[in-house]
Amino acid sequence: MEKLAIIVPYRDRYDQLLSFQEKIVKYLDNRDFNYCIIIVEQDNASAFNRGTLLNIGFKEAVKQRCDYVVFHDVDMTPIEVDYSNSDYPVHLATQDLPFEEYFGGITLFPVKDFEKINGFSNTYWGWGFEDDDLRYRCIKNNIRLDRQHRELADTSKSVLKFNGQNAFVKLRNTIDISQDFTIFISFCPEKMKLNPDKESDRFTLFNIPGYDFSILYNSFKRVVLQFFDKRKKFHQIASKPFSPRSSNVLVTFSASEREFNMYMHGKLVGTINLRAKSTVHNPLHDYNKEPFIYLGCSEGNKEFFKGTIDTFALWDSCLNKNEVKEVCNNRYFGLVQDFNNYNAAAHINTYYDTRFIKNYNLMDLTEGGNTGSIKNCEIMKYNAKDYIVDFIPYRRDSKIRVEEHENNGYTDGMWKDQNTRWNQLRFENEVQEGSVDFTKDGLSNCKFTLHGRTKENLKGSRRSIIHLNVGI
């Protein structure tokens, strides 16, 4: 019978560890697995290093002659998880995925595949990005992952390409913040170089200057709506993270309800209701005073967007949910005529389709004549055969129980810990740019000091728990 190693990185969660051991042993015993559980405890004061601890556990699993391993977070216990072997890596923590490419939590590897990629990197201290690095190692070493094509365009069309340096579009501000309005942008971000001098990076899609009213894509891979109210209080709605791909965002504002809604691809992302937070009739900062709107940059020509925009529209009405779905999923109809459940054509006041460019200006397809002045953008052609090839892990449906724990990642619009930003800079600016040699960072240079080792034999000769105390 094949032997499984459950490898658990651990520090300072004793109650969770006791609970995990009890539940995982009961679960595996009921299914008659041949297994060992390897707890790797980091017992020094350095920042937690999940990748190195898992490398250490893997080395122990090889000594125990295990055929495959499952890297398993201590705060996740199985309700229904298939721990059987696979010929290729499989992601098992599939319940409520935080983002599409997620490869953390519970991940199964054949021994040979993990050795081929030289294991985890040892350079990610604190929270985050060691699992992104792991997925990237699989891709670069031709380890089998699921391949997906994402279409960039459904029909041949022109798009505006923004270079991330000095490209933008300037247009008249036709938004009356005392009345209903809706904003729509269809875009595709490109991979962006992160600035090591900043705590985070913002790439602006839409901006009204002053106390910036912005829609942006940031280095947390989220689309964010942000604005200020009359009391100069900041508000924001952020999407879940997603990798750069063809996307659209739509924002509605109801003046009577004093409510913002943000949608991605026609699905509600979040809501901000200002009614209870302000007694004034119009709780927003007076953005009407600003004469211009910008696409692709923020006030003062900063925070430039890199990627493409193909559609932009403004309405002086708050689109209803049915209209939002029609606009976001619209592939065949222009927005200046009603169609299906879309009945707001009479309220659209600015509409750009980047197929219609004249004299280096975006032509407003409404009667408003709000021509967009293009600065330093490139006009490009995409057709239906252009696509992004992406690789995501193979997955098995699972049900897991996630124990309560402190959120160590993205909190209140920022990384909680500076280490995470350093991890991000390393992964985005170094690893993905090809400046890191995988063969010299991983199992091959995993250094640690063994401070203690215990082994508990469980019921039956094929089962045990090994606890390693290590300094790294």
Q: Which of 21-30, 257-266, 402-411, 432-441 has the lowest mean pLDDT?
A: 402-411
Distances (CA, A) of 2 to 6, 34, 65, 295, 390: 13, 7, 10, 57, 32
The answer to whether residue 152 is domain-embedded is no
The answer to whether residue 231 is domain-embedded is yes
Let me know whether 214 and 182 are in one domain: yes
Let me know whether 97 and 138 are in one domain: yes
Let me know whether 186 and 309 are in one domain: yes
Cα–Cα distance for residue pair 213/229, rounded to 1 Å: 10
pLDDT at 276: 61
Let me know whether 368 and 325 are in one domain: yes
**pLDDT, average across residues 218-244:** 90
Burial of 197 (0-12, 13-18, 19+ CB in 10 A): exposed
Instruction: Evaluate if residue 249 carries a pLDDT over 80.
Output: yes
∠ CA 63-64-67 to the nearest 5 degrees?
105
The residue among 382, 417, 435 that closes a domain is 382
Cα–Cα distance for residue pair 271/252, rounded to 1 Å: 10
Let me know whether 208 and 345 are in one domain: yes
> For the domain that residue 343 is a member of, what is the CATH number?
2.60.120.200
**Three-state SS at 434:** coil
Let me know whether 162 and 272 are in one domain: yes
- Tens of pLDDT, residue by residue over 353-378, are 998 999 899 999 999 999 999 999 99
Let me know whether 67 and 45 are in one domain: yes
- Domain residues for the domain of 231 are 157-382
Instruction: Evaluate if residue 384 carries a pLDDT over 60.
Output: no
Let me know whether 293 and 187 are in one domain: yes
Report the number of distinct structural domains present in the chain: 2
For 367-410, give the secondary structure using H, E and C: CCCCCEEEECCEEEEECCCCEEEEEECEECCCEEEECCCCCCCE
The residue among 326, 360, 382 that closes a domain is 382
How confident is residue 382, by pLDDT bands cut at 50, 70 and 90? Answer: low
How confident is residue 284, by pLDDT bands cut at 50, 70 and 90? Answer: confident
The answer to whether residue 190 is domain-embedded is yes
pLDDT at 330: 86
Q: Are 263 and 250 in contact (CB under 8 A)?
A: yes
The answer to whether residue 150 is domain-embedded is no
How confident is residue 64, by pLDDT bands cut at 50, 70 and 90? Answer: very high
**pLDDT, average across residues 274-278:** 66
The answer to whether residue 151 is domain-embedded is no
The answer to whether residue 60 is domain-embedded is yes
The residue among 382, 410, 430 that closes a domain is 382
Let me know whether 284 and 198 are in one domain: yes
**What residue type is 379 in one-letter code?**
I
**pLDDT, average across residues 290-312:** 91
pLDDT at 242: 83
The answer to whether residue 365 is domain-embedded is yes
Cα–Cα distance for residue pair 259/239, rounded to 1 Å: 17
List CB contacts of 174: < 8 A, sequence separation 6 or more.
293, 314, 316, 349, 350, 368, 370
Instruction: Evaluate if residue 155 carries a pLDDT over 70.
Output: no
The answer to whether residue 388 is domain-embedded is no
Q: Which of 20-29, 192-201, 394-403 has the lowest mean pLDDT?
A: 192-201
Q: How many Cβ atoms are within 10 Å of 450's Cβ, its own excluded?
A: 11
pLDDT at 149: 65
**pLDDT, average across residues 401-415:** 81
List CB contacts of 216: < 8 A, sequence separation 6 or more.
202, 203, 204, 205, 206, 223, 224, 226, 298, 303, 305
Cα–Cα distance for residue pair 458/36, rounded to 1 Å: 9
- Tens of pLDDT, residue by residue over 303-323, are 999 999 999 999 999 999 999
Cα–Cα distance for residue pair 87/345, rounded to 1 Å: 54
Let me know whether 242 and 376 are in one domain: yes
Q: How many Cβ atoms are within 10 Å of 220's Cβ, its own excluded?
A: 19
**pLDDT, average across residues 251-266:** 95
pLDDT at 211: 86
How confident is residue 152, by pLDDT bands cut at 50, 70 and 90? Answer: low
Let me know whether 138 and 166 are in one domain: no
- Tens of pLDDT, residue by residue over 450-459, are 999 999 988 7
pLDDT at 388: 65
Angle between helices 130-140 and 50-63 (to 10 degrees): 60
- Tens of pLDDT, residue by residue over 186-200, are 999 988 889 898 888
How confident is residue 277, by pLDDT bands cut at 50, 70 and 90? Answer: low
pLDDT at 29: 92
Cα–Cα distance for residue pair 185/352, rounded to 1 Å: 10
Cα–Cα distance for residue pair 237/269, rounded to 1 Å: 8
Q: Are 78 and 27 in contact (CB under 8 A)?
A: yes
Regarding beta strands 463-471 and 213-218, do their DSSP bridges make them parallel or antiparallel, or are they unpaired? unpaired
Query: How much is the mean pLDDT over the chain?
Result: 91
- Residue 238 sits at φ, ψ, to 5 deg, of -125, 140
> For the domain that residue 91 is a member of, what is the CATH number?
3.90.550.10
pLDDT at 383: 57
State the residue for tokens 């209803």.
320
Which tokens belong to 358? 């004249």
How confident is residue 424, by pLDDT bands cut at 50, 70 and 90? Answer: very high
Let me know whether 288 and 415 are in one domain: no
Task: Tell me the chain's radius of gyration from C-alpha atoms.
Answer: 26
Which tokens belong to 278? 């302000």
**Three-state SS at 363:** coil
Q: Are 393 and 90 in contact (CB under 8 A)?
A: yes
Q: Are 159 and 310 in contact (CB under 8 A)?
A: yes
Instruction: Evaluate if residue 232 carries a pLDDT over 90.
Output: no
